[in-house]
Amino acid sequence: MSETLLTDVTDGIARITLNRPQAINALDDSMMNAMYEALTAWIKDDNVTAVEITANGERGFCAGADVRALASVVEAGGPWLHFLETEYALDMMVANYPKPVSSHMRGITMGGGVGLGGHADRRIVYADTVMAMPETKIGFFPDVGVMYQLSRAGAIGRHIALTSATFTGGDALLLNLADESADGPLPAPLFEDPSAWIEECYASDDPVEIAQALESHPEEAARQAGRDLRARSPFAVFVTLRALINAQKMELSEVLNQDLRLAESVIPMGDFVEGVRALLVDKDNDPKWRYATLEDVPVDEVDKVFSYRSNWQR
């Protein structure tokens, strides 16, 4: 199959093991293609009764898609959309698989890792699970279908999606991104009492109003969230909030389709490549976003990104 993806079948259980621990099992093309091929073959294999997805290494299940490689393809003018088509098709395959699929989301589980593990039938989290959808940090939006769950989680889903906030396995259970804990009861800090500010501050459908509510709130946690939001790609924040609102009325397949259509417009605009450069390549944490502030983002530019919806309805 692939050195970075191991497969075996024992006593009817087919196992997929992500094996790129030096990169916290970041998903590249070869891993996703090998996984897709294995899952396709096991559908018709009567000796396979269930599938488990796990990962090697102590740091985590999967840090997400290999966005550095994706950004390089974008910069070179290569077929970058194919990468996302493969990733989203794999996520949908896991979600619709005709045999039970379990995922073991130990340690760091972010971005594409949440997409891979979070759509399985039995999603297991641990005391060391640290999850996030950190895409607005790199000029993108939470994709891989996760807006299906986050859009149904109200203000807390908005907080996670817009600010790239991390959350625990206990939070994931309450967000419907996990089903059980392997380590007994887990804390869910986003759902505990101090989170009342989240409900208050994320009520608006306007990112500028959300930022202002956070910045003016008496809770320091709210003001820190406001600072975090201001550090994200302003355009990505606008796209994320509108996509979340849309996703509330969508099925998972429709959310993944929205992800692909939005990516087709958003990635070439420049914030994605710049965000990857600042966070993961040069690591200067000083991205030069297309729009400097949330107040600078023209709503008609956001409208253009979502114009595919009206075009399809004609």
Residues 257-285 as b/e (b if ≥16 CB within 10 A, e otherwise) read: bbbbbbbeebbebbbbbbbbbbbeeeeee
pLDDT average, residue stretch 279-308: 96
Residue 252 CA, chain-centre distance (Å), reads 13
Q: Tell me which residue of 203, 15, 7, 220 sits closest to 101, measured CA to CA.
A: 15
Confirm whether 287 is domain-assigned.
Answer: yes
Confirm whether 311 is domain-assigned.
Answer: no
1 pLDDT more than 60: no
pLDDT average, residue stretch 215-226: 96
Beta-bridge mates of residue 123: 103
Amino acid identity for residue 256 in this structure: L
Q: What's the rounded Cα separation, in Å, for the pair 198 and 174?
A: 15
**pLDDT at position 312:** 46
Q: What's the rounded Cα separation, in Å, for the pair 262 and 256?
A: 10
**Is the Cβ–Cβ distance between 56 and 111 less than 8 Å?**
no
List, for residues 35-68, the tens digit of each pLDDT value: 999 999 999 999 999 999 999 999 999 999 999 9
List, for residues 241-265, the tens digit of each pLDDT value: 999 999 999 999 999 999 999 999 9
180 SS3 class = strand
Q: How far is CA 134 from CA 6, 109, 139, 232, in A?
A: 27, 11, 10, 10
Q: Which residues contact 166 (CB under 8 A, 6 or more apart)?
A: 130, 131, 132
* Domain hosting residue 63, numbered range: 5-306
Q: What's the rounded Cα separation, in Å, for the pair 10 and 3?
A: 20
Q: What's the rounded Cα separation, in Å, for the pair 88 and 81?
A: 11
Confirm whether 312 is domain-assigned.
Answer: no
pLDDT average, residue stretch 272-293: 97
Confirm whether 146 is domain-assigned.
Answer: yes
List, for residues 2-34, the tens digit of each pLDDT value: 799 999 999 999 999 999 999 999 999 999 999
**pLDDT at position 298:** 97
Confirm whether 147 is domain-assigned.
Answer: yes
**pLDDT at position 200:** 95
204 pLDDT more than 70: yes
Look at the block and give the residue holding tokens 């290494």: 57
CATH number at residue 204: 3.90.226.10
Confirm whether 161 is domain-assigned.
Answer: yes
Confirm whether 90 is domain-assigned.
Answer: yes
**pLDDT at position 308:** 86
**pLDDT at position 194:** 64
What are the backbone angles phi and psi of residue 231, rounded to the nearest 5°?
-80, -15
Q: Any idea which of 75-89, 185-199, 283-297 has the lowest mean pLDDT?
A: 185-199
Confirm whether 181 is domain-assigned.
Answer: yes
Q: What's the rounded Cα separation, in Å, for the pair 23 and 27?
A: 9
**pLDDT at position 311:** 53
313 pLDDT more than 50: no
DSSP conformation class of 129: -
- The tally of domains found in the chain comes to 1
Provide the whole-model pTM. Answer: 0.95
pLDDT average, residue stretch 68-83: 95
229 pLDDT more than 50: yes
**Mean pLDDT computed over every residue of the chain:** 96
DSSP conformation class of 105: E
DSSP conformation class of 27: B
